[in-house]
Structure 1
Amino acid sequence: MNWDVAHRVAGIAANQAHRDLAVDREGYVHVFAALRAAGLIGMAQPMPRLFGLYMDENDGGPAVLLNAGLDVITQRHTAAHELGHHLLGHRSAADDNLDHSARWGDRSWPEHEKVAEAFAAWFLMPRPAVLQAVEQVTRGGGLRRPEHAYLVARVLGTSYAGTVRQLSRLGLLTRDQGNQWLGIAPAALKGSLCGGRPVPGGSHVHAINLPSDGRRFYVDTGDLLVLEVPGARFGESAPELVAWGASWSAGEGDAAPYSPQQILQVTEDLDISTAVSVSVPGNDDPLGLTLVRQSPRTGSDDVWQA
């Protein structure tokens, strides 16, 4: 089975799963809630040598075990991959290396792993959700910069590389564009979005602009909120947010592709969610958005956020 066939099979299966599990195909996919809806027991614990494990009924399942030491983006992908094993009728499977090309080589993946990996992409990034994310990020201008792909990944809760591949697969990037953008480190894109300043490795960057009004942003401790609207300011912030770096305004001669007006950082005080307002010159009403914490899962799924 080649990758094209694997993606065709997985795309159909993911579409069916969205329907059966009542997943919103136009927004952020709540994969941990989907595990429960599919009848899977979910658990997470530190596992130095294992990323994830699917156990079928013959091994005491159906259940999914995730590595609690992973960041939430990697956990989400692993959860979707293991869900694919379950819904596609696979036997128990262990994932001890997320870099499958290093484990099996580019062309020697076992068929069940190919399809489960493709399923994860289509489950977390269905076409309607991707198109809506692209519209939000680019404001209808199309994907012109790799930073756009990075921000689309933030909307979807997916990795930068996985998002670039899916954008190419959906015909939203050319193959050459995709290959070129895959060669750019996310750290460089995060720095660019913050006006050229280095960003801590574990922090993600979320751009706030006019289309952000009414939106939910899925964030974790250390993430940065970058305000892009000229002249705009964040409202009175709760203890969940603190100023990060200096505030500055874009100048006409500024050579940086992004010149943020203000940057806030999410702190440990963010428990579940909080509301944030942004005042915009010329607007009677402020923009309103909601931050929802998405941190790595630990323990049993009965204490997990959906």
Structure 2
Amino acid sequence: MSLQSQAILAGVDAATTVHRMLRTEESAVERSSPYIDVFGAIDELAVPLYFAPLDNLLGACIREHGPAVGIVVTSRRRLHIQRFTAAHELGHFVLEHEGSLDREILTPWSSRKDPRETAADSFAAEFLIPNWLLTMVAQQHAWWDSSRLSDPGTVYQLSLRLGASYSATCWALGAHSILPVPTAAELSKVPPRKLKKELLPSGFEPPHGWADVWKITDRDHGRKIMASPEDILVLDLAESAAAGYLWEVDDSNVPVVRIVHDHSAIDFDRIGAATRRHLLLEISERSPDSRIALRHHRAFDKSDSLGSLSLIACTSGAHPEGEFRGSN
């Protein structure tokens, strides 16, 4: 077995051990949350965690004297990068590596020369996307099918609901033998920018190119998502406009989201067909947990409703500069 293969196995085994020790699977089920709380895990292991405005580094695992250790993560990148960076640095700590300064963090199948970095990469990917979590989220959204999971658009949406990068999610699909490794590797070559554009109406340009684009469906009803300010929520809803029923965003959501696109379309080839309501909502405010709700009701009698769609959105985004003080 090559040194790289040994490093990957070492990282995966270490992540599995930490999951068992911290009972993360039981905690995720109890909280009904699909996200691994990597920052909380670092805190639970009594490792100081700091967010700093790093210019040329994503993160660092610092060992000063003997057992003294600390983890630093950039405050200048988006949340999913902070999460993977923190998990990578945690990997260095758990695997008892010497201090590490990381300018670039990759997926484990990247052609790294240093086995320690490969081990930390594989730890991070396994810790954030264990097989049980990937399976649970894919089944919740009716994606648990090889043909669905071979679609890059589906994998992108899956990565958002795992709080992981698109490339790390592709790696996990191969590592857990859900897809053949060559298939997963090919998927990883599709740029997320292209997948975002496919979800948006022609001619619509999001204000910020780095923002993620969420395709919200009835499978998200009652669930929690971890979005960031400037992210776009795409909704494609059947609407009985001819009968006077319209979808309306709850007024209490206004501080958290704003409508940036609203279009209705009718399928003229089908008699009596419902209108399709296409809504784009932009996350406009940071909030730890906000309810985003829509109701399908008559405009003149809001008590007469055909249905609703609601979800909980944590829109805090990336952690700002400062010491991590524990999860809420």
Could you tell me which residue of structure 2 aligns to residue 19 of structure 1? 20
- CA, structure 1 residues 14+99, in 2 after alignment: closer, same or farther (shift >3 Å)? closer
Q: Secondary structure at the match of 1:286?
A: strand
- Relative to structure 1, is the Cα distance of residues 264 and 184 closer, same or farther in structure 2, using a 3 angstrom cutoff? same
Paired residue secondary structure (1:12): helix
Query: For this pair of structures, how many residues does the alignment match?
Result: 297
Hey, what does 2:86 align to over in structure 1? 79
Give the Å deviation of 1:46: 1.1
Which residue of 1 is the match for residue 49 of structure 2?
42
Structure-2 change in CA distance of 1:100 and 1:143 (3 Å) = closer
Structure 1 residues 5 and 283, CA gap change in structure 2 (3 angstroms) = farther
2:308 pairs with one of 270, 273, 286: 286
Q: Return the match for 2:116 from 101, 112, 115.
A: 112
Matched to 2:310, the amino acid is G
Deviation at 1:6, TM superposition (A): 2.5
Task: Name the Cα RMSD after superposition.
Answer: 2.8
1:262 aligns with 2:279: yes
Unaligned runs of 5+ in 1: 254-258
Q: Aligned residue for 1:194?
A: 200
Q: How far has the Cα of 1:95 moved from its partner?
A: 0.6
Cα deviation for residue 30 of structure 1 reads: 1.0
Distance change in 2, residues 1:219/1:108 (3 Å): closer
User: Residue 173 of structure 1 is aligned with which of 151, 168, 179?
Assistant: 179
Cα distance, 1:42 vs. partner?
A: 0.7
Which residue of the partner structure matches residue 217 of structure 1? 225
Equivalent residue letter for 1:207: K
Structure 2 portions without partners, runs of 5+: 240-245, 270-275, 298-303
Distance 1:140 1:84, change over 3 A: closer
Q: Specify the alignment match of 1:297 in structure 2.
A: 319
Please state how far the C-alpha of 1:190 moved relative to its aligned partner.
Answer: 0.7
In structure 2, distance between residues paired with 1:180 and 1:198: 27
Whether the 8 Å CA contact 1:233–1:261 is kept in 2: the answer is no
Partner SS for 1:15: helix
Amino acid at match of 1:172: I
Match of 1:240 in 2: 256
Mapped contact 2:153–2:195 kept (Cα < 8 A): yes
- 1:95 maps onto 2:99 in alignment: no
Partner of 2:160: 154
**How much has 1:143 moved relative to structure 2?**
1.7
How far the C-alpha of 1:305 sits from its partner, in A, is 5.0
Q: Work out the CA distance in 2 between the residues paired with 1:11 and 1:113.
A: 13
Which shows bigger deviation, 83-92 or 294-303?
Answer: 294-303
Please, which of 283, 293, 313 is the counterpart of residue 277 of structure 1? 293
Q: Which of 33, 58, 66 does residue 65 from structure 2 map onto?
A: 58
User: Is 1:5 equivalent to 2:13 in the alignment?
Assistant: no
| C-alpha contact (below 8 Å) 1:213/1:288 kept by paired residues | yes
Q: CA deviation at 1:136?
A: 3.3
Q: CA deviation at 1:265?
A: 0.4
Post-superposition shift, 1:226?
Answer: 1.1
Matches of residues 135-146 of structure 1 in structure 2 within 5 Å? 135-141=139-145, 142-146=148-152
Partner AA of 1:295 in structure 2? G
The residue number in structure 2 matching 1:133 is 137
C-alpha deviations, 1:108-143, integer Å up to 9, x for none? 522211111100000000001111222234455532
Q: Does residue 228 of the first structure (1) align with residue 236 of the second (2)?
A: yes
Q: Secondary structure at the match of 1:206?
A: strand
Go from structure 1 to structure 2 and tell me whether the alpha carbon gap of 1:149 and 1:260 turns closer, same or farther (over 3 Å shift): farther
Q: Which has the higher strand share?
A: 2
Structure 2 residue identity aligned to 1:156: L
CA distance in 2, matches of 1:233, 1:2: 57
Residues 87 and 124 in structure 2, CA contact (< 8 A), matched pair in contact too: yes
Give, as a single letter, the amino acid of the residue that structure 1 aligns with 2:121: E
How far apart are residue 299 of structure 1 and its match?
A: 3.0
Please tell me whether the aligned partners of residues 276 and 288 of structure 1 are also in contact (alpha carbons under 8 angstroms): yes
Larger Rg: 2
Structure 1 residue 289: Cα displacement: 0.9
User: Which residue identity does 1:265 align to in structure 2?
Assistant: E
Deviation readout 1:222-277 (Å, 9 max, x if unpaired): 01111134338353132211012242347589xxxxx9721100013x32221112
